Each structure stands twice: as structure tokens, then as C-alpha cells.
Amino acid sequence: MWREWAAASGRDIGPILAVAHGPRTSETLRAAAPDLDVSAEVARRGPAPVATARELLTSLPPHGWAIVTSGGPAVARLRMTVAELPMPRVFIAAADVPMGEPAPDGILLARADFIAGS
């Protein structure tokens, strides 16, 4: 998705890829393109679901998988809804943890929720 965004924005992909793995979209944009209106860019940048995502996720029980995202909960839920993808029982977003990726906080919280819900 970052490659498409860079091409559409007329930006060099190099600085973006140097910081894009793991951090929140807003953090990536602040680091790679500090001249932009980060809020506006985050609102515009929306991923398309992988072609087989719906098939995979609907084949899993809702209690058997989780979403852990370094994004905001409203955006993540909206993207799942727009893509017509199911929601799991465990949903961890940026607001739920003190540190986003690459820190393991989100994964550890999801794991704790799975253990508590067993």
C-alpha cells in the first residue's frame, strides 16, 4: 500500500519503507513526510482487503483469531466493515496499549485476552 501511496503522491518510496514496518500510519508519515497534513493523509489512505481474506476469516471461529493493529480502533473497525470482513472476539488497537509496534504490547494483550476467554 505504501508503494501505491508514494506513486500517487509523487514521493520517493525509499524514506517511507525505511520507517514503515510496524509503526502507526501517522508515525510513518510524520517521519517520512513531515511536510504533509498527517490527519488528512491518514484519512485518505485506506487499504483494500486481500482477495482471499474473507474466505479465510469466515472459515475461522470468532474466538480463534484476533486483530492486533497499531492503528486506531475506529479506523480499523471501519475498514473491516467496508471490506465486509468478520470481527474476532479479541480486538486490540493502538489505544489499548502503551506502546505500538514493534513493541510486543499488542500481541501480549491479545494473548492475555485469549487465555482469560478460554
Q: How many domains are there within the chain?
A: 2
Q: What CATH number is attached to the domain comprising 94?
A: 3.40.50.1000
Q: Give, in order, the Cα–Cα distances in Å from 7 to each of 1, 66, 87.
A: 10, 32, 31
User: Looking at the whole model, is its pTM more than 0.75?
Assistant: no
Compute the CA torsion angle 107, 111, 48, 30 (nearest 10 deg).
Answer: -20
- The answer on 27 and 64 residing in a single domain is no
Same-domain pairing of 94 and 59: yes
Domain with 57 in it: 49-118
Question: For all residues of the chain together, what is the average pLDDT?
Answer: 85
pLDDT score for 39:
78
pLDDT in tens, 71-116: 888 888 888 887 888 999 999 998 899 988 788 999 999 999 988 8
Specify which residues 66 forms β-bridges with.
90
